[in-house]
Amino acid sequence: MVSVSRRSLLALGAALPLLGRLDWAVAAPAPANADKVLLNYNESPYGPSTAAREAMQRGIATAGRYPYKHMYALAGLFAQQHGIAEEQVAVFAGSMAALRYAVLAFTSETRGLVMATPSYEVPRQAAESRKAPVREVGLNADHAHDVPAMLAADPQAGMLYVCNPNNPTGTITSTEAIRQALTNKPKGSVLVVDEAYIDFADTPSVVSWVKEHDDLLVLRTFSKIYGLAGARLGLAIGHPALLERLAVFGGDNVPAGSSLLGGLASLEDVKLLPQRKALNAQLRDETITWLKGRGFTCTASQANCFMINVKQPAEQVIEKLATQGVLIGRVWKNWPQWVRVTVGSKREMERFREVFAATV
């Protein structure tokens, strides 16, 4: 494979498709539709931090120039914070793009995709688009990825996908299980670990593992805890040769300068992540405790979403809450009585409980 410099690789890759007062201390909630409580897309109710908003405003003045220097700076800062080389970080307009490119790069009609169910659907959709076989393996009794079953599902798999914490359940797959997957996966395959929700969890990241493993790709996003979903900013972390395999798929994937500056400001704000993590955990856990007190089973989430067994067709519950302006969702076909709920602000979770109690 032809060697490329960090800058050319990043440019090419990016050219492709105290808890009581934390609620206000994190940042003022983003403006919301007063008639709706939006708990359906795993978005942040707080939006970008104050520092990120100010940086994004400054980015407007730079919009006449291509934002490559900001992209290199973002990759460099993330690499420095995680003790890896800059060449092991590629920037994308959202981690979803990197995930789709990974499926296209690592699967084929003869080398399939293995993933859990329920889990994030994008890998399956991408694999089906290129007629790659897909093997979906049910979660285990703890709602973690059943790694032994995944390893046995397809001896010719080209890619194994682990979302950790998992979307939609918010549950954790242990570091030991992920290491088992990396060690025992089919020869020539790539393990993709999607850490979109890792900053909410108490489990360690596996980003540092890319230093020793050239068959591991880790994905990160600024959409969740950093509140930049609308800014479309994500990272792929792996061996440079692995990142090159993503870089061949083309498409307009350069994040806007304002997005990159917002991401930089977010990484530089050392207080932001622990504050938002603590607030999310408080609101999530008190809501789950309330639901359990009413006889409902919930997943043991460490993310900004969780699932509830509503003991009836979940679509009906979604419709009932929507009539009262509370949007939740969605439903996975093999869990038809479970529904996912995103953790919103304190006011939003109070409204969710009020409506849920009256309608379910």
Domain-by-domain residue ranges, the chain? 6-15+48-268, 19-46+271-359
pLDDT at 11: 42
**DSSP classification of residue 134:** E
Residue 329: which H helix or E strand, with range? none
**Domain 6-15+48-268: which topology?**
Aspartate Aminotransferase; domain 2 (3.40.640)
In this predicted model, what pLDDT tens digit does every residue of 146-185 receive, in sequence order?
999 999 999 999 999 999 999 999 999 999 999 999 999 9
Count of Cβ atoms closer than 10 Å to residue 186 Cβ: 18
What's the CATH number of domain 19-46+271-359, 3.30.870.10, 3.40.228.10, 3.40.50.280, 3.90.1150.10?
A: 3.90.1150.10
Residues forming a β-bridge with 161: 192
Phi, psi of 210 (to 5 degrees): -65, -15
- Residue 75 CA to residue 84 CA, distance in Å, equals 10
124 vs 6: which has the higher pLDDT = 124
The arithmetic mean of pLDDT across residues 213-242, rounded, is 98
Count of Cβ atoms closer than 10 Å to residue 168 Cβ: 27
- Pick from 281, 277, 292, 228: nearest CA to 91: 228
Enumerate residues 6+ apart whose C-beta is below 8 A from 135: 112, 113, 114, 115, 150, 153, 154, 157
Is residue 8 pLDDT above 90, yes or no?
A: no
On whether the CB atoms of residues 267 and 81 are closer than 8 A, the answer is yes
On whether the CB atoms of residues 217 and 193 are closer than 8 A, the answer is yes
Q: Residues of the chain with pLDDT > 70: what percent?
A: 90
Residue 147: which H helix or E strand, with range? helix 147-153
Could you list the beta-strand ranges (E) of the chain.
Answer: 37-39, 89-92, 113-117, 134-138, 159-163, 190-194, 216-221, 234-237, 297-298, 305-309, 326-328, 338-342
On whether the CB atoms of residues 195 and 219 are closer than 8 A, the answer is yes
Q: Which two tokens stand for residue 3?
A: 């060697």
Range name among 21-30, 40-49, 148-157, 335-344 with the lowest pLDDT average: 21-30
- Residue 331 CA to residue 176 CA, distance in Å, equals 29
- Residue 223 CA to residue 233 CA, distance in Å, equals 7
**DSSP classification of residue 18:** -
| DSSP secondary structure, 160-213, as one string | EEEESSPTTT-PPPPHHHHHHHHHHSPTT-EEEEE-TTGGGSSSPP-GGGGGT-
Mean pLDDT for all residues in the chain: 91
Task: Grade residue 254 by pLDDT with cuts at 50, 70 and 90.
Answer: confident
pLDDT at 347: 97
Is residue 335 pLDDT above 60, yes or no?
A: yes
Q: Which residues of 102-129 are buried (b: 16+ CB within 10 A; e: fewer)?
A: bbbbbbbeebbbbbbbbbbebbbebbee
Compute, in degrees rounded to 10, the torsion defined by CA atoms 161, 119, 229, 174: -60
Task: Grade residue 25 by pLDDT with cuts at 50, 70 and 90.
Answer: very low
Task: Grade residue 252 by pLDDT with cuts at 50, 70 and 90.
Answer: low
Enumerate residues 6+ apart whose C-beta is below 8 A from 141: none
